[in-house]
Amino acid sequence: MAGMVRAFGGLMTNQNYFSTDMEQDVFTPASVFNYYEPDYGVPGTTLMGGEFQIFSPNNAILRTNEVSNLFSQWGSSVQTYGPGTTIDLTLFLPLAANPTTLVDALDLTLTHGVMPAAMKTAIVNAVAANTDGNLRQVQLGCYLILTSNYYNVWH
**What pTM value is reported for the model?**
0.78
- The predicted pLDDT at position 34 comes to 66
Residues of the chain with pLDDT under 50: none
CB within 8 Å of 48: residues ≥ 6 apart: 39, 40, 41, 42
- The predicted pLDDT at position 31 comes to 65
pLDDT digits (tens, 9 = 90+) for 120-140: 999 999 999 999 999 999 999
- The predicted pLDDT at position 83 comes to 66
Rounded CA gap, 108 and 92, in Å? 12
